[in-house]
Amino acid sequence: MDNKKKTTNKPVTGDAKSAKVEQSEYEFAFGPKNYILLAVGIILLGLGYILLSGGGSDDPNVFNAEMFNRRRMVVAPLMIVVGLVVEICAIMFRPKKDKKEE
């Protein structure tokens, strides 16, 4: 909730229209880096869920050991956890403000 309204007063230069100028500028909560991190996190989550899929058997009477391979038991859950961590970091990341704006 960093929406700030900035107002500036310009000095009167003889023109009645420019006596008082109000400039409203709203800042977004997320910057470009936040959106890039969000996109990376979503891609990692999607890739993790894709790696997690498959390995089932069409016949319920036949056991398929492919369900318990390394990709589904280790790689996919780690990819999902990393994606969630990246999403949390993307939400919590606050870019540094320029010294010119202060």
Domain boundaries, the chain: 32-92
Pair 37, 86: CB distance under 8 Å: yes
What is the pTM for the complete model shown? Answer: 0.66
- 20-24, 67-71, 82-86, range with the lowest pLDDT: 20-24
Q: Which residues contact 36 (CB under 8 A, 6 or more apart)?
A: none
Residue 25: per-residue pLDDT: 76
Residue 54: per-residue pLDDT: 83
Residue range 65-92: average pLDDT?
94
Residue 62: per-residue pLDDT: 86
Residue 56: per-residue pLDDT: 79
